[in-house]
Structure 1
Amino acid sequence: MQEQCRNGAESSYRGRGAMDLATGWTGHAACALQAALRMSNEGFAEHLGIAVRTVSGWPKKPTLRPKSEMQQLLDTALEQASASVKARFAKLLDDSADGPTDAIPADPPVDAQAAADAELRMTEDPNIGAALDWLDEHAGWEPGASRREVSSRLARLDVRELQSRANRRGRVSQRDVAQALGEYYGAQVGSHGRYSARYGGEVQTETSVLTCADWLDLACPLIASNDRLAVVSAGKADTRLDPEAAGRAAQRLAETLAMGTRLVDMPLYRLLGIEPSQGSIGGAVGVSRFVEYAVTMDLLEGELIDAIAADSPASRGALPLRDKYLPDIVSVVDVSGRLCAGGPLALCAIARPASQFRGEADYVLLVQERSGHVLNAARRLAVIPKGFHQPMTDLRADAQVGATLRREMEEELFGRDDIDNTFGDQRMADPMHPSRLSEPMRWLFDGADRLRMECTGFGLNLLSGNFEFASLIVIDDEEFWSRYGGQVEANWESAGLRQYSSLDKELLAELVGDVAWSNEGLFALLQGLRRLREIGGDRVGLPPIDWEVI
């Protein structure tokens, strides 16, 4: 049987594929061989013993005929390839030969490198595999159907169009999003409404964060006695996808592969109940998986923003995923009845000494511009750190909101790549053990009262259904900035950092009014500034900030 399969593959290659190569290799044929070998540009170049720039140029010039020396290298690579590679190569040439040769696009939607990388990820990346298995199960498809569906969608994707869509999404402002969601969900329901604030009586803002008076101005120290989310057994969620939702999930995975976006199937805390009060956070969380969130609730943001960008109605009936997953305020507040993921994000305020160049002693306030590689709030302004609430190794202790913030400080501000779970498996027994801390974090932990963390407010984001713990991190010892200010550097999740002075009320007014904010980021900024004005003393020169629930 194996001999018959091998002969069949050889026969296929000698048929259509051999005829296509009768007049020599082209850039298109070389790309087909690269895709059949499932090699990146670098891997294919090394395999042939040529420069990477030569390989990267073939997709752009599909009709180019390489020189004779290169023709011989490609001949040898094909001759030495396995039967399965030759079969894939022949299939690729057959598919492209179904139309006229001059119909091959000069710049194909997914080039050979992207196709090879994507196929390799579907085969070898356990995170993509977990997402495909989850989709098969919850869409009611037979095993392997999601892989075929994603492959089919990937082949039709135009990466340039995805990049153009990202640009269009970037032009949708925070105000556009808040207004559209206000129209979709209507006015305040009971005590719950959207967070709005006025900065100094001048800058009026409104957000998509659903909150209430009891959830604001919590002044809750993020220490064990006050930070008390309990882990409970949530059971397995009954998530069934209709054809529309299953198709959108498959499309998300195809786009993830095409754009090289990181997707890691890590445990994720799921909110089941919440009881915030002055000085205390109570409630319950269960544990879900990140892939479930990525192909369900996380799709709501893109659906809405695409509708706004296209000037389409953002109303019931026009947003099928929102109509399914988050149709009204009751479903938003019923966190135990749906998948409610999220996490904390904090305004970071670090004391600085007076300077003859800068002026009086103040706090430096850090704001990030999110990169295009993150799943949520891509290319938006946000406070830093910001992260999903996830366990690392201690399921119960890590349920504290402060545990996630401390981890995110290490990762996003102090460069601890080894605790970034998007890079690989977590093998350490205690990633936040004092002996493993970065030097800046160890210095903060060694001294009493050098680091203060508080939760300043809680809300549910109408955009995604996520829970948001707005927080404030304060470092009062100005020696920290003198020692370590030069080591504070954002990780891959940020495209850049900005710094503001707590004494510069005019520039902060412009910042509050910037329409590039994510809604949750603006919520955390305003609640953080409001609290910092109360506790910051002479280092702070801010006007009153008054909130309202609308």
Structure 2
Amino acid sequence: MSLNDGWTGRTASALQLALRLTHEAFAEHLGIGVRTVASWHQKPDLRPKTEMQQLLDTALDQAPAAVKARFTALAAEPALDLPDGAAEDAEVRLGADPTVVAALDWLDEHAGWEPGTARRRVAERLVRLDVRALQDRGVRRSRVNQRDTARALTTYYGTPTTGHGRYTATLGNIQATTTVLTHPDWLDLACPLLPAHDRLKLSGVTPDDDLAMDEETAGRTAQRLAEALALGNRMVNLPLFRLLDVDARKGAITGSVGVTSFVGYVVTMDLLEGELVDALTTNTPTTPGALPLRDAYLPNLSAALDVSDRMCAGGTLALTAIARPADPFRGGPDYLLLVQERSGHVINAARRLAVIPKGFHQPLTDYRADAQVGATLRREMEEELFGREDIDHTVGEQRHADPMHPSRMSDPMRWLTAEPGRLRMECTAFGLNLVSGNYEFASLIVIEDEEFWTRYGGQVQANWESARLRQYSSLDTEQLEELANDVAWSNEGLFALLQGLRRLRELGGPRVNLPAIEWELK
């Protein structure tokens, strides 16, 4: 099979997209250099030499029927026209990025569209986007603070009548109200993240995802995907634990999780925060009926609490406290407390303050063992505190049978787990974040042995998910009150901070100087 008018850079690139291959994989498939493939994207009108035309003819002739059909559709589409050289990356990702392709297939299925419709609709939106306008919108979004979202969702959902309420706490002269829906039984858990107490289990059956989308919600999903492509946001489609039921009480977490895909979350529940924040930046009402996506996916408190009947993803986040010896300049022995400023490239809590580590609850390789909350928290420590890039799925594929095997641990983690008493991990609270419906297991990590800081303090570093790390002393009451009063917090981050400080005050002895923290539900 050949093209009547010969191949051009644009049609060669269309074949690459139809095959769903990266630059490197397409070059290897044809037996040519990667630079040649890149040049086809940079110069769409370029006509390859005769021998290259023949290679492309052969590749298309030998391609499966489905690839040929995709190629025909792609070759007929207009080229993307984006500023700053973004077109090449976006166009490749539309056809070759497995996560984007999975998201497009998901959207076609749930919107009831013919295969390929989502790609065309995302491409149409992509060429109309102004990247600089999107960047400006990101700045506006960052100015909507934690208190703004808490007030807006109080207006939207009203007052709970089930014994649940939005988490509010008082620290000294500071009162903080969050969007985290919780219950008295779900607070002050002091639950060791060990198998005898951490008993979240993998369910044998996950309910079918039968979510149907109307044209408005499907269109907003297509817009979100186009914006993610234009901005170069990182997305990787991985298995994600979906909460099916939970019982959190003093000293124990029980319940079950199923397994779903990350793209299903990204194109549904994860859209709710952006919709809400954009409404706040434009003074749009945030009442029922004014937020179409929220009205569809999380319309009331009953829907928020009914985790078995909706997409309820989420994760773990922990206040980390590291014992430090006395210092002639800093003062007496204390705990170093770590807080992160989140990067603008993350999916969750972008540009907000959060405790660290923070991550989605999802399996690595052993789905049953990884269902425990502590499994995710240990992985996130390795990734976000100790620099383990090999377990960061956004950096590369996971090929190890046991990524958390002791022989693969970082030196700091291996030292912490070598002897009992060096590391304490507890779940302090559970809640459902009304911003996106996510479940949140707030936790506390305490490194009890101050020798750790002497040995490894210089190796503690955040990964790409953090724009910056801040450190605080557990003895500095005034600074911690100011921290709790900072409006830049994510709601779940503030929830974890306050519950973590409350528990640390009980455990820390003379290393901690904090006023009482009292919570109430509103």
TM-score above 0.5, yes or no: yes
Q: Give the aligned partner of residue 277 of structure 1.
A: 249
The runs of 4+ residues in structure 1 deviating greater than 3 Å are 32-40, 45-48, 73-85
Q: Give the aligned partner of residue 66 of structure 2.
A: none
Residues 200-219 of structure 1 correspond to what in structure 2 (within 5 A)?
Answer: 200=172, 202-219=173-190
1:190 Cα deviation from its structure 2 partner:
1.8
Over 3 Å counting, the alpha-carbon distance change for 1:34 and 1:513 in structure 2 is farther
Over 3 Å counting, the alpha-carbon distance change for 1:112 and 1:421 in structure 2 is same
1:230 Cα deviation from its structure 2 partner:
1.2
SS in 2 for 1:217: strand
CA distance in 2, matches of 1:301, 1:213: 26
1:111 Cα deviation from its structure 2 partner:
2.6
Pick from 243, 246, 252: which aligns with 2:224? 252
Q: Give the aligned partner of residue 4 of structure 2.
A: 6
SS in 2 for 1:198: strand
Pick from 148, 151, 156: which aligns with 2:128? 156
1:74 Cα deviation from its structure 2 partner:
11
What TM-score does the superposition give when structure 2 sets the normalisation length?
Answer: 0.88
CA distance in 2, matches of 1:321, 1:535: 43
CA distance in 1, matches of 2:152, 2:457: 40
1:423 Cα deviation from its structure 2 partner:
2.3
Pick from 139, 159, 166: which aligns with 2:138? 166
1:113 Cα deviation from its structure 2 partner:
2.7
CA distance in 1, matches of 2:413, 2:383: 11
Over 3 Å counting, the alpha-carbon distance change for 1:113 and 1:75 in structure 2 is closer
Q: Does 1:436 align with 2:434?
A: no
1:235 Cα deviation from its structure 2 partner:
3.0
Residues 52-63 of structure 1 correspond to what in structure 2 (within 5 A)?
Answer: none
Q: Give the aligned partner of residue 90 of structure 2.
A: 118
1:77 Cα deviation from its structure 2 partner:
6.4
CA distance in 2, matches of 1:143, 1:75: 28
Pick from 109, 134, 157: which aligns with 2:106? 134
Contact 1:34-1:112 at 8 Å conserved across structures: no
Q: Give the aligned partner of residue 474 of structure 2.
A: 502
CA distance in 2, matches of 1:321, 1:76: 44
CA distance in 1, matches of 2:443, 2:152: 26
Q: Does 1:427 align with 2:399?
A: yes
Q: Give the aligned partner of residue 447 of structure 2.
A: 475
Most deviating of 133-142 and 294-303 = 133-142
Q: Give the aligned partner of residue 16 of structure 1.
A: none
SS in 1 for 2:191: strand
Q: Give the aligned partner of residue 484 of structure 1.
A: 456
CA distance in 2, matches of 1:34, 1:305: 41
Q: Give the aligned partner of residue 389 of structure 2.
A: 417
Q: Which amino acid aligns with 1:217?
A: D
List gaps (5 residues or longer) in structure 1.
14-29, 59-72, 97-107
Q: Which amino acid aligns with 2:193?
A: L
1:79 Cα deviation from its structure 2 partner:
6.0
Q: Give the aligned partner of residue 199 of structure 2.
A: 228
CA distance in 1, matches of 2:46, 2:342: 46
The sequence identity of aligned pairs, in percent, is 62
SS in 2 for 1:407: helix
Residues 369-408 of structure 1 correspond to what in structure 2 (within 5 A)?
Answer: 369-408=341-380
1:161 Cα deviation from its structure 2 partner:
0.9
1:244 Cα deviation from its structure 2 partner:
1.1
1:424 Cα deviation from its structure 2 partner:
3.0
Q: Describe the superposition over 1:150-196 as per-residue Cα deviations: whole angstroms up to 9, x where unpaired.
A: 11111111111110110000000100000000110011322011000
Q: Give the aligned partner of residue 30 of structure 2.
A: none
What TM-score does the superposition give when structure 1 sets the normalisation length?
Answer: 0.84
Over 3 Å counting, the alpha-carbon distance change for 1:122 and 1:74 in structure 2 is closer
Q: Describe the superposition over 1:493-517 as per-residue Cα deviations: whole angstroms up to 9, x where unpaired.
A: 0001000000000001110000000
SS in 2 for 1:6: coil
CA distance in 1, matches of 2:280, 2:258: 34
Q: Which amino acid aligns with 2:201?
A: A
Q: Does 1:526 align with 2:516?
A: no
CA distance in 1, matches of 2:220, 2:245: 29
1:47 Cα deviation from its structure 2 partner:
4.6
Most deviating of 354-363 and 422-431 = 422-431
Q: Which amino acid aligns with 2:174?
A: V
Equivalent residues, number: 491
1:34 Cα deviation from its structure 2 partner:
11
CA distance in 1, matches of 2:46, 2:241: 53
Q: Which amino acid aligns with 1:222?
A: L
Q: Give the aligned partner of residue 518 of structure 2.
A: 546
- Kindly report the root-mean-square deviation, in angstroms, between the aligned alpha carbons of the 2 structures: 2.9
CA distance in 2, matches of 1:350, 1:203: 25
CA distance in 2, matches of 1:110, 1:196: 45
Contact 2:83-2:131 at 8 Å conserved across structures: no
Contact 2:160-2:301 at 8 Å conserved across structures: no
CA distance in 2, matches of 1:365, 1:487: 15
Q: Give the aligned partner of residue 447 of structure 1.
A: 419
Larger Rg: 1
Over 3 Å counting, the alpha-carbon distance change for 1:526 and 1:74 in structure 2 is closer
Contact 1:34-1:113 at 8 Å conserved across structures: no
Contact 1:35-1:116 at 8 Å conserved across structures: no
Contact 1:33-1:78 at 8 Å conserved across structures: no
CA distance in 2, matches of 1:401, 1:207: 22
Q: Give the aligned partner of residue 437 of structure 2.
A: 465
CA distance in 1, matches of 2:468, 2:84: 32
Over 3 Å counting, the alpha-carbon distance change for 1:276 and 1:79 in structure 2 is same
SS in 2 for 1:117: helix
SS in 2 for 1:187: coil
CA distance in 2, matches of 1:75, 1:271: 50
